[in-house]
Amino acid sequence: ETGVTQSPTHLIKTRGQQVTLRCSSQSGHNTVSWYQQALGQGPQFIFQYYREEENGRGNFPPRFSGLQFPNYSSELNVNALELDDSALYLCASSLGVFTDTQYFGPGTRLTVL
């Protein structure tokens, strides 16, 4: 059984740039959620994808967008990067929606300069 993988591990961008983060869900999981974790904080829900459709969204602006592909892998895109976007971005897969256990990937550490 393959766990959740994310790429890249680390990324440095400058303000105003765009970034794409990638996630492969755990085998058999059809739901992917993205979280932003600032230093010293708990993960903050960005959005969830279930069978290629957005299934819920947190309090993040539209410049945070995503996709889920037929193989249930997913992308998180962030446009017009701001300094406050610097954080650990976590992808989590699950068998179903939010009542189910979230299996987290190792995360992508994004630094915006």
Partner 1 sequence: GQQVMQIPQYQHVQEGEDFTTYCNSSTTLSNIQWYKQRPGGHPVFLIQLVKSGEVKKQKRLTFQFGEAKKNSSLHITATQTTDVGTYFCAGPWGAQKLVFGQGTRLTINP
Q: Tell me how far, at minimum, the Cβ of 113 lies from partner 1, in Å.
A: 22
Q: Is residue 90 a contact residue for partner 1 (CB under 8 A)? A: yes
DSSP assignment letter at 48 = E
Q: Which of residues 60-89 bind partner 1 (CB under 8 A)?
A: none
- Binding track over 17-56 against partner 1, x by CB under 8 A: ----------------x-x----xxxxxx--x------xx
Residue 8: asked if its preceding bond is cis (omega within 30°), the reply is yes
Q: Other CB atoms closer than 10 Å to residue 51's CB: what's the count?
A: 10
- Kindly list the distances between the CA atom of residue 45 and the CA atoms of 51, 58, 59, 64, 76, in Å, as whole numbers in the listed order: 18, 5, 8, 12, 12
Q: Other CB atoms closer than 10 Å to residue 45's CB: what's the count?
A: 17
- Interface residue with partner 1 among 93, 102, 110, 112 (CB under 8 A) is 102
Lookup: tokens for 111: 């630094």
Q: Tell me how far, at minimum, the Cβ of 41 lies from partner 1, in Å.
A: 6
| Site size toward partner 1, by CB under 8 A | 26
Contacting positions for partner 1 (CB under 8 A): 33, 35, 40-45, 48, 55-59, 90, 92, 97-99, 101-107
